[in-house]
Structure 1
Amino acid sequence: MSTFTLSSMALLGLGLLPLTANAQLLPLPPLPSQVIGTLDKTTERQTERLNALKQQGLLEQQLQQSLASKATLLNPLTQLPNIVPVVNALGQTVFNDVAVEQGLRAVEREWLLLLSTSQWQQLLTQAPELESYLSSQITLTQLQLQLIKIRVPSQLDNMAALRLNLPELLAPYLSRNYIYQTQTAEPLAHQETANPAPTDKALATTVPAAPICNQPITLGMVDTAISPHHSALTQTAQFALLQRSFLAEGIAISYAHGTAVAGVLAGRDKQLNPLLSSLTLLNAGAFYAQNAYQQGASLESILQALNWLVSEGVRVVNMSLTGPDNPVLQQVVTGLAEQGTVLIAAAGNGGPAAAPLFPAAYPQVIAVTAVDKRLELYRWANQGDYIDFAALGVKVLTTRADGSIGMESGTSMATPVVTAKIACLLAAKPELDLSQIVQQLQQQVVDLGVPGKDPLFGHGVLVRP
């Protein structure tokens, strides 16, 4: 049996120790064994309770650390160096794709302004030194705004330095020329081919689903280029493809991601049935290869791509890409939405603890997450109040740039399902605005998670017929 004692000073302070005349302590009589046993049990219970609380706190801390780690997990195959030179066919560097603040990437020393002609002239009057930094100036005809690119000295290549050296009124219109990325979560070259493992044979040999609709549809994509040589994407009376590149001359064109997305929309093969049976697809090629597995697009290229698509009469645009919020992109998204353009974007593959990604997180954009065939959420999908709808995006059979058929996963693969749904809806009811489109789609969903809209599935899952 263990013993239980209190310090003499403590007992003295409680008036429990008798004093002699010369203030010497008298011996304390032993406590009864029954009292000692009760105190032992009480102490053990309190110790166990404290240990349990401590362990619970540690587990919660570990969970938060794990989620944060997964949100920023880097595959050593796909981790980019701080500087990625983007070169032309002669091996000359056209620009440097560099790591900048907050783990983002941008074109080195390049900044963008989106202004009216009068605003730009006013700015030059107040800060004439800007003209010496001017790199290019183009008109986004659909918005009647000037997209101005400036190239600054290295010592000014941060917002704090620019604020000190340029007029304060510039800040709301200024952004880095950020780099955005496609949203297939795993290296495209490493995913399964059309001869999958035995556990996936059922998926590969399932009879393809029916098209979402049979009306003639026109829609746009901002993506990599699409391989024009894939047999499943051969142009026919049912499928027309118009492509335009927005890369600087001589930069190697990437085909991987755009070919996969186009295969979901339009692929025809014994293993594939298109989402849209009669499609005219306008593809704006804005992405270059960052390495063997990843593709990047500058904000400048994306804005020019959107302007071209809308100028060609496209109303519905698929954007299986993500990147940072910034005032220039937000201004374009808002302006196009006011004109009736519907943008559908991948929510992102950052994981459940990741910050919102853009353009999906803008309220004028339909944000799409991914589920598997069991309607379970894709484990790497972003979550948040901005999620609008979910669709199949895990182990999706589609076209590959090398001419094969294979499986791809990610919110990029789910996005064209929702894009096709919206395109079909507008073909039947072109008068619908964005809020009415969302209301119509809500009537088609399988509501998962908590009833109504939630941060995991949005309003619910949109399923092919």
Structure 2
Amino acid sequence: MKPFFKTRLFPVLALCSLSSPVMALGGGLADHPAAPITRQVEQKAGRMIERAMDRHLEKQVEARADTTRQQLAELPAALPVHTTVGHKAFNDVVLDDGFRAVERQWLVTGTRSELASLGRRGITILERRELSGLGMTVVRFQVTTELDSRTALETALPQLADRLDRNHVFAPQAENGAIASKTGIPQWRSLCTTPVRVGMVDTAIATDHPVFSNARIIQQRFLELAESDGQLNEPNAHGTAVASLMVGSRKDQWPARLPGATVYNASVFYDRNRSLSGATLGHLLEGLNWLAGQDLSVINISLTGPENRLLATAVNSLRNQGILLVAAVGNQGPATPPLYPAAYGGVVGVTAVDASGELYRWANRGKQVMFAGPGVSVPVAHPERGMAADSGTSLAAPVIAAALACRRVDYPDDQAIEALIDEARDLGERGHDSRFGHGFIDL
């Protein structure tokens, strides 16, 4: 099978080492009667060495992915999160359903008169935000232990029962402890040179990385809390990797997929430890609200979490404005229920495949999968290590987002998706399926 994309590791050195003894036999290789056979042997040996190196790299990346997954599973039931000045901001806690959230914090949206009912015993209002870009007024509040359940709050606030939810914590969907290793030169081409405008919700981007020397990136930070001094610590590995797959380039080696694009990045993730990060729903909504005002065609959301009523409202608002949302389907494994926002209707859910078109072994499955993109052992920029290899559905999503941004130049939102469906290469069951969606986008 012809590979969909290829990470090349030292092929020139491998071929040179094989060629030298043949050249030493005397005369030019082209003059030797066995030259065609020799070339075939060299080429076959070179491909074997290259495949072996690729497999070795993939095993390294998978080992790191397994370590990161184990670290996430072993996060303490209550993880204290501090600001840059050492002030404890909140506890990041695990819930009964296995998802995580800010301890005893909830958010609600409603009218001014409806939100006035929050002023009651057991509820402390922390912050009120007018998110005009999303058409929402959001109040973040803390409750006593007795009120810290949906049943208790819906009983206490019946008029707001369908518009409140926890301040959930969302996670990025790539193993952002990338391997500092030889990764070869990325094998892709520019998709379009049009000055498209693409949004991201992610960690910060290390814009001083050499791959961004010709890129246009505008960032806004959403990591402050009204009740805490300082702001949350800001990681930058995951966002740097994602952005490099859209606008990263290396002169005379590989072009940016979107060389004419301007990327607007909402930095919403905070550090949990050296390799894990999280984003609160409150900050995620603030980031999406800012992006709503940037005249964007596509927003890439390489994160997942539980279903949340306020996030659903924000997603619907953005789609009603004609903005396409592309989201990673998640890396929790094939038996995991659908994760959000990829599972919301109207969101383009993206899974990851490797160089031979095989599904990433940790990719979630389901009807929310719309497309497959390259996402296994992908060369990406790392803020501290130059180029590195990484895996995850997070890394396939920006490839599809870039393709959709180019299609939006000629088509309105839904027609742009249909155009991409027509280009997709069917990999699984005929037609749309739960593993590859409509198929692989071969760019």
Point out where structure 2 has 5 or more consecutive residues left out of the alignment: 1-64, 225-229
Give the structure 1 partner of residue 114 of structure 2.
122
Q: Is the 8 A contact 1:224 1:253 kept in 2?
A: yes
Verify the 8 A CA contact 2:206 2:236 in the aligned structure 1: yes
Taking structure 1 as reference, are residues 433 and 83 closer, same or farther at Cα in structure 2, changes over 3 Å only?
Answer: same
Q: Say whether the 8 Å CA contact 1:391–1:418 is kept in structure 2.
A: yes
CA distance in 2, matches of 1:448, 1:77: 31
Q: Determine the C-alpha separation between the residues in 2 that align with 1:78 and 1:373.
A: 29
Q: What is the deviation of 1:74?
A: 4.6
Given that residues 171 and 277 in structure 2 are in contact (C-alpha distance below 8 angstroms), is that contact kept between their aligned partners in structure 1? Answer: yes
Q: Which of 172, 182, 194 is matched with 1:182 structurally?
A: 172
Residue 308 in structure 1 maps to residue 290 in structure 2: yes
- Residues 99-130 of structure 1 deviation map (CA, whole Å, 9 limit, x = unaligned): 11200100111100122xxx331352x56417
Q: Supply the AA of the counterpart residue of 1:225.
A: A
Q: Which residue of 1 aligns with 2:13?
A: none
Q: Which residue of 2 aligns with 1:442?
A: 421
Distance 1:341 1:421 in 2: 14
TM-score of the superposition, structure 1-length normalised?
0.76
Distance 1:381 1:422 in 2: 22
Q: CA deviation at 1:428?
A: 2.6
Within a 5 Å distance, the mapping from 1:250-329 to structure 2 comes to: 250-269=231-250, 272-329=254-311
1:171 equivalent among 158, 161, 174: 161
CA offsets, 1:265-288, max 9 Å, x none? 111126543211112111000001
Which stretch of the first structure deviates more once superposed, 388-397 or 127-136?
A: 127-136
In structure 2, the partner of 1:457 is 436
The answer on whether the counterparts of 2:80 and 2:91 sit within 8 Å (CA) in structure 1 is yes
| Distance change >3 Å, CA 454–CA 130, structure 1 → 2 | farther
Structure 1 residue corresponding to 2:327, chosen from 336, 340, 345: 345
CA RMSD of aligned residues (A): 2.0
* Counterpart contact for 2:326–2:342, Cα < 8 Å: yes
Give the Cα–Cα distance (whole angstroms) in 2 for the partners of residues 78 and 405 of structure 1. Answer: 28
1:101 and 1:163 map into 2 onto residues whose CA distance is: 18
Residue 143 of structure 1 and its aligned partner are, at CA, apart by 2.9
AA aligned to 1:243 is Q
The answer (yes or no) to whether the contact 2:370–2:438 under 8 Å persists in 1 is yes
Question: Secondary structure of the residue that 2:154 maps to in structure 1?
Answer: helix
> Could you tell me the percent identity over the aligned residues?
37
Question: Could you say which structure has the larger radius of gyration?
Answer: 1
Deviations 1:292-328 (A, max 9, x none): 1111000011111011011122231000000010111
Name 1:228's counterpart in structure 2: 207
Q: CA deviation at 1:194?
A: 4.1
Q: C-alpha separation between the residues in 1 aligned to 2:108 and 2:377?
A: 40
| 1:109–1:153 Cα contact (<8 Å) kept | yes
Using the TM superposition, give the Cα deviation of residue 354 of structure 1 relative to its aligned residue in structure 2, in angstroms.
0.6
C-alpha contact 1:229 1:403 (8 A) present in aligned 2: no
| In the alignment, structure 1 residue 428 sits paired with structure 2 residue 407 | no
Deviation per residue, 1:242-293 (Å, 9 max, x gap): 1010001332110010000011111112654321111211100000111211
Aligned-partner Cα distance in 2 for 1:462–1:242:
27
Task: Report the alpha carbon displacement of residue 144 of structure 1 after superposing the two structures with TM.
Answer: 2.6
Do structure 1's residue 396 and structure 2's residue 354 form an aligned pair?
no
Distance 1:139 1:315 in 2: 23
For 1:407-426, what aligned pairs fall within 5 Å after superposition? 407-426=389-408
Structure 1: state its 5+ residue gaps: 1-69, 197-203
> Quick one: distance in 2 between partners of 1:143 and 1:400?
32
User: Cα deviation per residue 1:28-55 (whole Å; 9 max; x = unaligned)?
Assistant: xxxxxxxxxxxxxxxxxxxxxxxxxxxx
Partners in 2 of 1:114 and 1:272 — Cα distance? 46
Any runs of at least 4 consecutive aligned residues in structure 1 with deviations exceeding 6 A, and if so which?
A: none
- Given residue 153 of structure 1, which amino acid in structure 2 is its aligned partner? T
Q: After alignment, is 263-272 or 175-184 more displaced?
A: 263-272
Give yes or no for contact 1:222–1:318 (8 Å, CA) kept in 2.
Answer: yes
- Greater alpha carbon shift after TM alignment, 386-395 vs 273-282: 273-282
Q: Normalized against structure 2, the TM-score is what? A: 0.80
Query: Which amino acid in structure 2 is aligned with residue 345 of structure 1?
Result: A
- Secondary structure of the residue aligned to 1:443 is helix
Deviation at 1:463, TM superposition (A): 1.3
Q: Which structure is higher in RCO with an 8 Å CA cutoff and minimum separation 6?
A: 2
Aligned residues: 372
